[in-house]
A and B are shown apart, each in its own frame.
Chain A
Amino acid sequence: MVEPAVDLTHGHPHEDHAHHGPQGIMKYLWSTDHKVIAMQYMFTGMFMALIGGFMAYVFRMQLAFPGMNVPGFGMVSPGEYNALVTNHGTIMIFWVAMPVLLAAFGNYLIPLMVGADDMVFPKVNRLSYQIFFLSTVVILASLVVEGGGFAGAWTAYPPLSADETYNLTPLGSTLWLVGVGLEFVAFLLGGINFITTLMNSRAPGMRAFDVPIVVWMIVVASILFMLSVGPLLAGAIMLLFDQTIGTGFFNPATGGDPILWQHLFWFFGHPEVYVVLLPAMGVVIEIITTFARKKVFAYRTVIFTVVAIGVLSFFVWAHHQFIAGIDPRMANIFTITTLLISVPMAELCFVYIATLYRGSITLSTPMLWALAFVAEFLIGGVTGIFLGAAGADVYFHDTYFVLAHFHYTFFPIAIIGTFAAFTYWFPKMFGKMMDERLGKWHFWLTIIPFNMIFIPLFVLGMGGQHRRIYNYEHFPELAIPWFQDMRQLATYSLLIMLGAQFIFFYNCFKSWRSGARASRNPWKANSLEWTTESPPPHGNWHPDDMPVVYRGPYEYSVPDREDDYWPQNEPALKGGPGE
C-alpha cells in the first residue's frame, strides 16, 4: 500500500464515459456515476430522516402529555408507541446515518478525493443503491401492514422478535427483518467499491499517506462493516427462519438460545457505531484543517489510531449485555476492553483540539458544525465511561442515561456530521454558495435545543427512568411533577429543533435557485475535489486533465509561501519547501 498506486483507470478513457450514460429520468434510475448515486443515497437518507424525526415527535408528545391526541397522528397506543421507538431507532441508524455518511459522502468523496473518474465497479455501485432503495420500500411497507410495524426494539431480541404470538406483529416483524437484511447487502456491495477504489484508483503520485483522512476513515469504516455484518446477516436469516418456518435457533424450548442472538447482534452492533462515527470524524477533520488553515496534527498518528479503534471495536460488544445473563466473569474482560477504547478515542479528540492550536480560524457555517461535533461528541464519549464500567452499568443499563448517552454520540455523528459535510461540500455538489446567515440561524436553533432535549434525559436516567415505557404515570416514583417537567422540557426543545430544520431546507432551496455561483475552490482547500469544476462533470475531470499529486492534503500555511494553501496537484516549481 505504500508504493504509488498502479494506475488502472487513467490514460484510457472509461468506456462508460465516452457516450455519457443514460439521459433524462433514466439517468437517475440507471446512472453509474458515483455523484448521482451519492445524491440518491443522500436524498433517500434525508427523506428517511424526516420520517424518523416525525416518529420522535409523536412519541415525545406522548411522553410529555400522556394520552393526548397528538396532532398529525392521533392517540398513541402502547403497541404503536413500541413500534414508533423501534422504527425510529432502526431508520435513524440504518436508513439515515449509514446512507448519508457512509454511502452518500463515501460515494461522492472517494473518487473525487483520490483523483479517479469513478468507482472501480460502477455497476456494482448502482446495484448497491437499487437494493438499498428496495430495502427502503420494504421497511416503509412494514409500518403500514396489518398488525402494524415491528415493535420489539431495534435490537430485535428473541423470543419476542421470533414469535408472532409474543410480538403480535406477524407481517411487520418479518418485513422489518427482510428490510434490514437487504440494507446490509446494499452496504456490502458499496463497501467493495470504497475499499478497491482507494486501493487501485489513486491519482499518480498519491501515496498512502497523501490520502485525505476522511477517505481513510470511510474505508476503515467499510472494512469494519464488512467484517462484522456477516455474523449478523447469518443471525438475521436464522431469526427469519424462526419467524416463518418454525425453526428454533433462538427458542429455549427447542434447544435454542436467545442470548446467541444478542452476541451476533452486538458483535455487529458495536463496530457499527464506529462505522458511522469514523466518516463523521473524517469530515470534521477536513473542515477543521481548511478553516483553521492548519496542517492536521500528526497525520500518521490519526490513521494508526483509527485502525486501533477499528480493531478494538471488535472486542467490546458484550458491554451491551452485562446484565443479560452472560457469565459475570465475562463482564470483567469487557469492562477492560471497553475502557481501553477510551484511550485512542481521547487521542483523536486531543489531535482535533491540537489542530486548532495557533491556527487562523474562520467560523463559517461548516466550521461551526465541525466544532460543535467535537464539543458535543465529547459528552457522548465521557458518558460512555459510566456504562462501560460494569459496576455502574448494573444501575444505568436500559435507563434514559443510556438513551441520552448514545444520542450524544449518534446525533453529532448523523446530524451534526451530515450538516457539516453538506454545508462544506454544497458548493462542490451544486455549484452554488449557501446562505451563511440562514446557515448560522439553523445551526444555533439546532444545537441549543439538541442539548435541551438530552440533558434532562440524563437526569431522568439517573433518577431511575427506564426506556421504552409509553407512560410513566404507572410508576409512582417516576410520576413526580418535576420529572414530568423534565419530559416536557425535552419535548418542547424537540419541537423547536424540528421546526428549525425548515430553515435548512429553505436555505438549500434558495441557495440552489439563486445562490452566488461557487468557484472551483471557494474555501481555498487543498484536496483534489476542489481542483475540478463545481459541480464536477461526468468523469470528474477532463480525461486529458486528470490530476497528478505532489503532496499531502494538509499543506496549509506553509512558511515562505505567499498562499496559505497548497493544492495537492500543484507542481512545485519555485523550489519551495516540502519537495
Chain B
Amino acid sequence: MLQFLIRRLTGAVVIMFLIGAFTFFLFYTIPQDFAQLSCGKNCSPENIAVIRENLGLDKPITTQFWEFMRGIVAGRDFAVGHCAAPCLGQSFSTGDFVWDSIMDRFPLTLSLTVGALVIFLVIGLGSGLLAAWKRGTALDKAVSGASMVLSSFQIYFLGPIVLGLFVYSTGWMENPKYVPFLDNPVDWAVALLIPWAVMATIFTAQYTRMSRSTMIEQLQEEHVRTARAKGMPQRYVFFRYAWRGSLAPIVTILGMDLSGLLAGGVVTEFTFDLAGIGRLAVESSLTKDLPVTMGVMLFGAFFILVLNIIVDLAYAYIDPRVRLA
C-alpha cells in the first residue's frame, strides 16, 4: 500500500513539473510584449525597459523558468518583499503574490467541489442502487427517466431557475454567498446549499445511471448467482457481493470526471456570482495577467492530482487486485 502511494506521488510530482514547464514555455514564448501591455499605449521606451526589468522579462526564458520553479520550492525575493515557499510569482497588474490571491479564493472552490462531490456520490449511488434493486418497476423507470432528463440540464440553466424559485419569488433562502467554514459551519452550509444542490443535481443524474447499469451487470455475474444459489439472504448478496464489484468502474469514471468537477465548480461560481479560483482565472486571463493565470492553472492541476490520488486509494481499497499489482 505504501509502495503504491509512493509510486503515485512520484508520478504526480513529475506530471506537475511537466505541466508547469509546458504551460510556462507556451505562455512566455508567445510573441507578445507584456511590458507594453501593462504600461499602456503612450509609453516611452525607457519606461518599458524599466518595467521589463522589474518583471524579470529581460532575462532569457530558461533563467525565468528556473527562477519560477525554484520559487515554488524555495521561495523567491521580489522588489516588494519575500515571497514564501510555494511562490507562484507576482501578479503583473496588482502586484500581489499569486499564491495569496489563490489562497483567498480557494476555500470557496474547495467547499463547492467537495461538498457537491459528497452529495452527488451519496445520492447518485444510492438512487442507482435503488433503481437496480427495484429493476423493472415503476420506481426504476421514474428514477432512470428523471436522471436521463436531469443529466441534460446545465448548471447555468438550472441555477437561475432554483434561485428564482427559492430566493427571488418565495424568499425562503438567501442569495448564496461564502461564509468561511471556521467562522460558522452552519451558516457555511446553509449559504452554499443552493449551489451544492444545483451542481450535485447534474452530476447525480449521471452517477445514478452509471450505478444502476454497473449494478445490474454485477447482479448477472456468476459469483453473485452462486451466492444466491447457496441461499444467502438477498440483502447480503446485494451489498456484499454485487455492490462492491459495481463500485470499481464507478470509481474509475470518477477519477476521469475530476477535471469536470472543477469545471462544474467554475460554472457554479459564475452562475451564483461567487468568487472562487475560476473567476480568478477568467479575470486574469482577460487582463493577460500571465503569472496569475499560470498559477491558477498549476494549482488546478495540483488540486485534481491530489483528488485523483485519493480516488486511487479508494480504488485500491475497493479492488484488492490494484494493491497487489
**Are chains A and B native binding partners rather than an unrelated pairing?**
no
Q: Mark A residues whose CB is within 8 Å of B.
A: none
